[in-house]
């Protein structure tokens, strides 16, 4: 059975494939559907964006689809960057610029004022509509400088609880055992397993 992951982000796709590796699905991405309509991620929440991706792509592809939206929420910044995580540094955005902006905004704050969490929403839909949406979170804090060279997004500045290392220092094996994406996909797995049973 095929599962379309509604993303163009190759690193995000790889994480999802790794985490769902033991499920009986052939995972494909938007790269397999060049004519898929462009989705404007203008939802006020991660869940709204994830649902929009899943439902839009499922209707277009006529396939079971996983939509995902995730980002970093920093307490001292009132929850920003939030749904704007990927484009936080503006028009010429990239991971490095986004990280630098967060560090700049938190420059004078001590460690106890640098609390943050990663949030991830995962929506599952088929051609008939939405099947379910779930969310996962991972709390930590923002370090004082980028460290590590694995992962993507804010991983070089997000310090994981209990490790005193950033997600980018921990590497995929440890990150995938505790991340926001892992926790959301663990819940989404139940929806996917049920779908297999009902449609075979």
**What are the domain boundaries of the chain?**
2-198
Q: Which one of 22, 32, 69, 92 is the catalytic residue?
A: 69
If residue 14 lies in a helix (H) or strand (E), which one and from where to where?
Answer: helix 10-19
Domain 2-198, classified CATH 3.30.43.10, yes or no: no
CA distance 143 to 159: 6
- Long-range contacts for 79-88 (Cβ within 8 Å, ≥24 apart)? 83/41, 83/43, 83/44, 83/45, 83/46, 83/49, 85/153, 85/154, 86/153
The pTM of this model reads: 0.94
Stretch 150-168: mean pLDDT: 94
How high does pLDDT run on average in the chain?
Answer: 94
122-151: per-residue pLDDT in tens?
999 999 999 999 999 999 999 999 999 998
30-85: per-residue pLDDT in tens?
998 989 998 988 999 999 999 999 999 999 999 999 999 999 999 999 999 999 99
CB atoms within 10 A of CB 173: 9
CA distance 2 to 122: 17
92 is catalytic: no
């Amino acid at each position: 059975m095929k599962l379309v992951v509604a993303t163009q982000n190759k690193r995000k796709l790889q994480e999802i494939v790794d985490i769902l590796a033991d499920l009986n699905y052939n995972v494909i991405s938007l790269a397999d559907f060049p004519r898929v309509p462009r989705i404007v991620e203008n939802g006020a929440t991660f869940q709204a964006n994830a649902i929009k991706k899943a439902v839009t792509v499922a209707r277009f592809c006529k396939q079971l689809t996983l939509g995902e939206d995730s980002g970093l929420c920093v307490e001292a910044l009132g929850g920003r960057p939030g749904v704007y995580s990927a484009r936080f540094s503006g028009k010429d955005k990239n991971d490095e610029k986004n990280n630098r902006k967060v560090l700049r905004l938190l420059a004078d704050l001590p460690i106890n004022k640098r609390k943050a969490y990663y949030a991830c929403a995962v929506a599952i839909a088929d051609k008939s509509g939405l099947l379910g949406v779930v969310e996962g979170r991972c709390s930590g804090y923002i370090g004082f400088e980028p460290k590590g060279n694995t992962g993507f997004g804010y991983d070089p500045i997000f310090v994981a609880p209990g490790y005193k290392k950033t997600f980018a220092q921990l590497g995929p094996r440890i990150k995938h055992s505790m991340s926001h994406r892992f926790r959301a996909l663990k819940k989404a797995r139940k929806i996917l397993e049920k779908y297999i049973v009902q449609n075979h």
